[in-house]
């Protein structure tokens, strides 16, 4: 937020990898990031850089706020359910697991090899700074206020996120005519970087690492669905998505430099 | 179930590490293990070997069915909630993660180093053979039929289980006078191998590996609770618990050979 | 050796990734691989596919025997010393360490995750099938029979080889006018995929993984030198080198599909 | 060296885990540890705490300098060869590999999970501070000045050291009547924590981790021998050996608290 106003003033278009322009509500930003926002002026015009939801706006955007890694996986996994009113918005639980590069390159005791290796833990249980970002976007999709339960965990691997998501069926949903898997396939039909697995087939981190893909698998039951989404946190969850946004902004093929 | 009748007939007392005497319902056993049960006669008298729930019965038991690793962590994490009627029995979701020794020493492609290392995945989503074992014991505690949502995952580590569990508050629970953490502490007050963390402190796998402890942390919110339980799947989840049962059966100190 | 004669007869040019055409001495091949050689006819005409030594011959070769992974790292690390007569040929010790993909995708107990993870070991001590391949090529370079001491080790990582090599100075070498590092830099000056580190700087596996590079570092002392070479066993040690050979054979830029 | 004089003055006996009293030559200590020695007075009386070599002196020692982890593995692997004059003292090469706990719990970029995981490297090539400790003890055993070649490497595992050691036969050794393996077995016959493998069988790190054992395997050939030694750097390489020394000093069974 210190560089961005300078760049915009100079007539540049910006894809911002930081969290500074993702949250529209400054109070929530300041609470979760524990820092004063210095450029509220550009908050309104920034476009949330998830191409699957905002492609048209990204095309002409001056400022794109590139999404966080957990939100990318979580929102893509839930967008069809909420946009189509298929899930109970109050029921959503996201149990997410990330490799250590998710936290950047912090030099702290908690990130030493012998602290991470052969271990696994939950952290920031229901208080991670990515939760309000997920809430904001899912609320927009659902057309009503959503607050998810979000528990991140730290995996002893270098890269990759896998989110296991639990959602109950919306109460008023009638007997459906197609499987959720088919609904998802249709929803993401034209998306170059979202791949929907066959019913009951779940993606694993190996499937997406070193790629810009988000792979999604769905398992339905009487009460709702379990959705598993996997991305590479450094690509679709960060710089890969930034390149995808840049491609859209510049009118390049969306695959450029990503295949 | 081939050895056990022979041993019992010879007057021996048995702690069985297999799954053969855990499930009281033979049909469920045969469905999930894909094998015919050969010793239904002893099913009724077998005692489920979770000392925290069945210590008195274990003391004099002739046949103890040592619990599975996932059920040990899951049941201990949920027992206070269900025994005391604090959780909505229909709301329970168990997102469990296990190191590879949970699967024994199978020589199969899926367990090769290069298949597991730097990867993470869900498997047997909502169809794992440990789910009915959890359902059986939680139903007994709650006094009503319970069917949990259970999703196991495979961690790239040798040993350890961490289960992240989501439960909604029972509808009729009044304003509580103590925290869930205090409730848990009281419930497990005299247990030598269950340790309850302070409110909001979550255990990690490193805390319990190479020990017989089950560590439990609780985070409450308005709607319910997130409970995290960690055990070493080879000790409290298998042979350690068998030794604990043997100690009880023989009148030894429960710590014998376990500290 | 079953496919190759068929392909050659059909007028195809072949880069063979197997070990069948690497060793010129059939007896040694049959001893180390425990299999009868079925195509001795083409053994003589096959060219050893190490571009740094045989580029001219590879250009027009009909049959290229792509080198093993350990030999690639070892021979590149030692070629300048032996070609220029700087090392005592009887003194060479290669202490090599490889990730598990070096062994292919064998389904055997020894390659299970829990057998490899958190472990490290030497194997086939001084009897690995890659040793005669190294001996053959170093002998050619030195113009005399060489038998190295070769001890491979298994690293708990997916990919990458690091070889630490010990060589004593040749007895008759006069006071040198340049450092060994400079000698190596000159020797590999035009090589696209060999990178020589500054004096005393040693490469690590991370430097080369997912690339076709061979990185080499040298540390000299009064008695000789310690040379460390690192490659990705799946690229410069296998398919990457095959592509490099194909590029040479077809007159493409050597970097094609490798950068 | 700040605490020790105080403790000795108070009549206490000391096992020092630091490096301060290991090297008899203060100049070498100050060069390698980059710190001024503050207690030269007690250097002479300190006993090097390797029970296999100094048990009698340790028994009555006031100050025991507990050996480093690399020296423990290296000296035990070479003691029989040098004490019996079987190896050429100028030929010794130690290629050692250690898990990350060997470096203590330093919070530095180089020890972050993502720096170590899936990587492997040599470090301090022929300039590690443990080399002079090895030289000092091997020289005493051989009765002549020895300077080994010592190259340590960093393994992506928590604990364990494996040293692969190369030694040429002493020139004047006559045709031997027994294998080196038998020589080693005889040499360490009464040692509670040294285990010699059968000829050609090599130990791995898993064999010794969480134990105080040093396992040694030997492979002989016409020119000399390859010796592989494995220890747990935190036990036989540090605190386990300290307990062994304490047991000796107090007249306890040497196994006390170590089995």
Residues of chain D in contact with residue A103, where contact means CB-CB under 8 angstroms, are: none
Q: What is the mean pLDDT of chain B?
A: 96
Top-confidence residue, D222 or D153: D153
CB–CB of B226 and A164 under 8 A?
no
Residues of chain C in contact with residue D156, where contact means CB-CB under 8 angstroms, are: 155-157
Compute the distance between CA of residue B101 and CA of residue B120 in angstroms, rounded to an integer: 15
pLDDT at B175 over 70: no
Q: Residue D57 half-sphere exposure, CB side, CA atoms within 13 Å?
A: 14
CA B113 to chain C, closest CA, distance in angstroms equals 4
Q: What is the CA radius of gyration of chain D?
A: 18
Q: Does C103 touch chain B (CB under 8 A)?
A: no
Residues of chain B in contact with residue A93, where contact means CB-CB under 8 angstroms, are: 93, 166
Whole-model pTM: value is 0.96
Compute the distance between CA of residue A223 and CA of residue A216 in angstroms, rounded to an integer: 20
Compute the distance between CA of residue D239 and CA of residue C103 in angstroms, rounded to an integer: 37
Backbone angles phi, psi at D167, to 5 degrees: -140, 140
Q: Are B122 and A228 in contact (CB under 8 A)?
A: yes
> What average pLDDT score do residues D155-175 get?
92
Backbone angles phi, psi at A232, to 5 degrees: -90, 115
Helix residue ranges, H only, D34-102: 51-60, 69-83
CB–CB of C164 and D149 under 8 A?
no
pLDDT at B177 over 80: no
Other residues' Cβ atoms within 10 Å of the Cβ of residue C125? 21
pLDDT at D104 over 80: no
Compute the Cα dihedral for B234, B236, B238, B244 and give only its sign.
Answer: positive
> What average pLDDT score do residues A196-222 get?
96
Query: What is the predicted pLDDT for the residue at B176?
Result: 67
The pLDDT tens digits for B144-174 are: 999 999 999 999 999 999 999 999 999 887 7
Token pair recorded at residue D92 = 């010794």
| Banded model confidence at residue A212, pLDDT cuts 50, 70, 90 | very high
Compute the distance between CA of residue D257 and CA of residue B125 in angstroms, rounded to an integer: 45
Q: Is D159 helix (H, G, I), strand (E, B) or coil?
A: coil
pLDDT at D191 over 70: yes
CB–CB of D113 and A116 under 8 A?
yes
Query: What is the predicted pLDDT for the residue at B40?
Result: 95
> What average pLDDT score do residues B114-140 get?
96
pLDDT at D22 over 90: yes
Helix residue ranges, H only, chain C: 4-9, 26-33, 51-60, 69-83, 113-116, 131-142, 180-187, 239-250
Structure letter (DSSP) for residue A239: I
> What average pLDDT score do residues B93-109 get?
91
| Banded model confidence at residue D176, pLDDT cuts 50, 70, 90 | low
Chains that touch A (3 or more CB pairs under 8 A): B, D
Interior CA angle at C205 toward C200 and C206, to 5°?
A: 105
Structure letter (DSSP) for residue D118: T
Token pair recorded at residue D114 = 């993502």
Query: What is the predicted pLDDT for the residue at D222?
Result: 84
The pLDDT tens digits for D200-226 are: 899 999 999 999 999 999 999 888 999
CB–CB of C118 and D153 under 8 A?
no
Cα–Cα distances in angstroms (integers) from residue D83 to residues A71, D80, D133, D166, D226, in the given order: 65, 5, 17, 16, 17
Q: Are C237 and C68 in contact (CB under 8 A)?
A: yes
Nearest CA in chain B to C109: B107
Q: Does A149 touch chain B (CB under 8 A)?
A: yes
Instruction: Point out the residue among B151, B155, B160 whose CB comes nearest to the CB of A164.
Output: B151
Q: What is the mean pLDDT of chain D?
A: 96
| Banded model confidence at residue A176, pLDDT cuts 50, 70, 90 | low
Q: Are A176 and A94 in contact (CB under 8 A)?
A: no
Instruction: Point out the residue among C101, C107, C157 whose CB comes nearest to the CB of B107.
Output: C107
Other residues' Cβ atoms within 10 Å of the Cβ of residue A191? 16
The four Cα atoms D16, D21, D22, D24 give a dihedral, to 10 degrees, of -160
The pLDDT tens digits for C73-86 are: 999 999 999 999 99
Q: Are A244 and A193 in contact (CB under 8 A)?
A: yes
Nearest CA in chain D to A108: D107
pLDDT at B36 over 70: yes
Compute the distance between CA of residue A123 and CA of residue A101 in angstroms, rounded to an integer: 15
Q: Does A158 touch chain D (CB under 8 A)?
A: yes
**Helix and strand counts by DSSP (H, E) for chain C:** 8, 10
Q: Does D97 touch chain C (CB under 8 A)?
A: yes
Hunting for tokens 């959890």 — which residue is that? Answer: B134
Query: What is the predicted pLDDT for the residue at A175?
Result: 62
Compute the distance between CA of residue C33 and CA of residue A96 in angstroms, rounded to an integer: 47
Top-confidence residue, A119 or A171: A119
Cα–Cα distances in angstroms (integers) from residue B45 to residues A125, B39, B40, D258, in the given order: 42, 11, 10, 42
Q: Does A210 touch chain D (CB under 8 A)?
A: no
Hunting for tokens 């020092």 — which residue is that? Answer: D16
Instruction: Point out the residue among C113, C156, C157 whose CB comes nearest to the CB of B112.
Output: C113
Q: Does B205 touch chain A (CB under 8 A)?
A: yes
Which residues of A are marked as active site? Answer: 69
The pLDDT tens digits for A177-190 are: 789 999 999 999 99
pLDDT at A159 over 80: yes
Query: What is the predicted pLDDT for the residue at D175?
Result: 62
Q: Does A103 touch chain D (CB under 8 A)?
A: no
Chains that touch D (3 or more CB pairs under 8 A): A, C
> What average pLDDT score do residues A79-93 get?
96
| Banded model confidence at residue A172, pLDDT cuts 50, 70, 90 | confident
Nearest CA in chain C to D121: C204
Residues of chain A in contact with residue D103, where contact means CB-CB under 8 angstroms, are: none
The pLDDT tens digits for C165-189 are: 999 999 887 766 789 999 999 999 9
Q: What percent of chain A has pLDDT over 70?
A: 99
């Amino acid at each position: 937020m210190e560089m961005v106003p300078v760049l915009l003033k100079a007539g540049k278009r910006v894809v911002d990898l930081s969290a500074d322009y993702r949250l529209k509500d400054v109070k929530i930003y300041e609470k979760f990031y524990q820092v004063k926002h210095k450029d509220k002026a550009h908050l309104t015009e920034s476009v949330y850089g998830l191409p699957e939801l905002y492609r048209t706006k990204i095309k002409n955007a001056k400022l794109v706020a590139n999404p966080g890694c957990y939100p990318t996986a979580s929102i893509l996994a839930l967008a069809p359910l909420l946009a189509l009113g298929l899930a109970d918005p109050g029921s959503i639980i996201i149990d997410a697991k990330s490799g250590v590069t998710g936290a950047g390159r912090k030099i702290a005791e908690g990130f030493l090899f012998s602290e991470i290796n052969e271990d696994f833990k939950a952290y920031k249980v229901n208080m991670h700074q990515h939760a309000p970002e997920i809430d904001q976007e899912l609320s927009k999709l659902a057309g009503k206020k959503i607050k998810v339960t979000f528990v991140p965990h730290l995996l002893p691997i270098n890269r990759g996120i896998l989110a296991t998501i639990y959602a109950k069926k919306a109460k008023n949903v009638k007997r459906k005519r197609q499987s959720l898997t088919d609904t998802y396939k249709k929803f993401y039909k034209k998306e170059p970087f979202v791949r929907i697995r066959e019913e009951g087939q779940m993606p694993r981190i190996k499937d997406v690492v070193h790629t810009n893909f988000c792979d999604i698998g769905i398992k339905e039951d009487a009460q709702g669905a379990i959705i598993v989404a996997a991305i590479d946190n450094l690509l679709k969850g960060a710089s890969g998505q930034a390149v995808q946004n840049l491609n859209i902004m510049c009118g390049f093929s969306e695959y450029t430099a990503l295949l």
